Amino acid sequence: MRISQLAALTGVSARALRHYEDRGLLVPERDRSGYRVYTESDIARVAQIRAMIAAGLGTGTIRRYLDCARSGEHGVSLEMCPDLRAELDALARRLDAEVASLRKTRQRLSALASAR
């Protein structure tokens, strides 16, 4: 299938698919004219990429661990390994720190708003 077909089937823009290719996340075949040719397995691959992006992973991390992604009837999951677990834990800690910072900012904003 061509890029426009994959985009329609996955709900991802052709521009995003080209970005995934640039980052090494998708590797389509090329026909004699140089057009990208995608397979049915690329549909699942795009779903895996999108799920990992939605979870806050960057494309570099996704590239390292995309082979750990599994698609099933309950969505996308990851097979854990020590390096992946460490990266996910580090991301969770960063998110916790950001949430704590936002809470403090929200408290300061409330204090300013209620001050007379």
- Domain ranges across the chain: 1-79, 80-116
pLDDT at 81: 80
3-state secondary structure of 94: helix
DSSP letter for 67, please.
Answer: G
pLDDT at 71: 79
How many CB atoms sit inside 10 A of residue 7's CB?
A: 19
Task: Write the pLDDT tens digit of every residue in 69-82.
Answer: 887 777 788 888 88
Spans of the chain, pLDDT less than 70 = none
Instruction: Quickly name the fold that domain 1-79 has.
Output: Multidrug-efflux Transporter Regulator; Chain: A; Domain 2 (1.10.1660)
Which pair of tokens denotes residue 46? 């795009």
**55, amino acid identity:** A
DSSP letter for 70, please.
Answer: E
Residues 6+ apart with CB under 8 A from 2: 35, 36, 37, 38
Q: What is the pTM of this model?
A: 0.79
